[in-house]
Amino acid sequence: MTMNIRIGNGYDIHRLVSDRPLILGGVHIPHELGLLGHSDADVLTHAIMDAMLGALSLGDIGHYFPPTDPQWKGADSLVLLQQVNQLIIDQGWQIGNIDSVVVAERPKLKPHIATMRDKLAAVLEVEANQVGVKATTNEKLGPAGREEGICAYAVVLLIAGD
């Protein structure tokens, strides 16, 4: 079936540990805990990438950047995002808009949201107003609420053509 719009959703979670930097949306956020992962564990960027891939039924980021591959150890997730963006462009699609939520009990993310949007938009070559980033606590409930991890949800709308 031919369609000129596609929607995708993505979800990711990473464990919080004491000896890692906290990087969300490509922004290094000062905090005593950081996210554990094979790459830089940027949970927000990972959710966005999965939403972009999902919109075109292209699988997930684990397929393209397997955690077993030493090539991606410590990888800057914005570099991976740029590659996923190129993939969707090569298939004839562009981003209409993205919306996302980061669920973190601490630290306060609001001061960093504008920088995250600017960084993500720059990599994706879209306007910042096409990249929604929101933050919420989990009211101390569940793994995010107990600060065992940080999770992120994203949806993306892709539009055919340029």
> Interface residues with Mg ion (CB under 5 A)?
12, 46
d(CA 38, CA 16) in angstroms, rounded, equals 13
User: Nearest to residue 100, comparing CAs of 40, 27, 160, 49?
Assistant: 49
Least Å distance, CB 85 to Mg ion, is: 17
- Could you identify the residue written with the tokens 């979670």? 13
Least Å distance, CB 37 to Mg ion, is: 6
Say if residue 11 is exposed, middle or buried (CB neighbours under 10 Å; 0-12, 13-18, 19+).
middle
Which CB atom, from 4 or from 68, has the smaller least distance to Mg ion? Answer: 68
10 φ, ψ (degrees, to nearest 5): -140, 150
Least Å distance, CB 122 to Mg ion, is: 21
Which CB atom, from 12 or from 105, has the smaller least distance to Mg ion? Answer: 12
Least Å distance, CB 45 to Mg ion, is: 8
Amino acid at 62: G
Least Å distance, CB 21 to Mg ion, is: 15
CA angle 10, 13, 14 (to 5 degrees): 140
Which CB atom, from 46 or from 117, has the smaller least distance to Mg ion? Answer: 46
Q: Which residue is nearest to Mg ion (CB)?
A: 46
d(CA 74, CA 80) in angstroms, rounded, equals 11
Which CB atom, from 6 or from 46, has the smaller least distance to Mg ion? Answer: 46
Which CB atom, from 13 or from 56, has the smaller least distance to Mg ion? Answer: 13
